[in-house]
Amino acid sequence: MRIVAFSDAVIAIAVTLLVLEIRPPQDAGRLVQGLAALWPSYMAYGLTFMLIGQVWANHHVMFDHIRSADRMVLFLNTVLLMDIAFLPFAASVLAKAFHDGHGQRIAVVLHGIAFELAAILFNVIWWYARHDRRLLVTTIDSAGVRAIGRRFRLALAWIATGTLLGALFPALGVAVIAAFIPFYWLPIPGEIARVKRRHDRGSQA
């Protein structure tokens, strides 16, 4: 599907741009101290890279089950990609705020809102595609559809919570959003069960 190939390209560019925001220390004579002082850049890079990685993985999960994309899906996916392309800027703002010690609350909220918008768009695309199962493939059952939907809705609540906390306690907000990373890489139960059944059928053939 061309929409997936195009999306992969945009996501790949976005994660590549992240590392370009990490500037080497100017004073080579104090290189160790200079590298250590860049910890906010490393934090913003790692956090944003892993979150974009989740966007990429779940984008594939979603479009593995979308049979065809009409103009509405194309439009919504374009807005999603526009948001993803904004994320290196949000990461740069986050790193600078923590490095300078000023504006951390706004930076965490900006970073969180950018990912919350992505979560909203995932939910809208999936809701639209699953409505009357018009755009879904026939190989996913109702349990799998619901499991994907639950995971996407959870992302809305989790990121929103981290963003709101970040408006009050920036470090806590970042920690809550970071805690989302290992959990969200867990497989979706409905997906795993369905894949296993297909594999078993293939083994019996």
Domain ranges of the chain: 2-204
Structure tokens at 96: 């600078």
Residue labelled with tokens 């599907």: 1
Dihedrals phi, psi of 4, to nearest 5 degrees = -70, -40
Taking only the tens of pLDDT, the chain with its 205 residues reads 789 999 999 999 999 999 988 888 877 778 888 889 899 999 999 999 999 999 999 998 899 888 888 899 999 999 999 999 999 999 999 999 999 989 999 999 999 999 999 999 999 999 998 887 878 888 888 888 888 888 899 999 999 999 999 999 999 999 999 998 888 777 776 565 444 444 444 444 4
Alpha-carbon distances of 98 from 32, 105, 106, 119, rounded to whole Å? 19, 10, 11, 25
If we measure between CA atoms, which residue out of 159, 164, 133 comes closest to residue 148? 133
Distance CA 72, CA 67 (A): 14
Distance CA 48, CA 193 (A): 30
**Contact present, 62 and 125 (Cβ < 8 Å):** yes
**Contact present, 83 and 62 (Cβ < 8 Å):** no
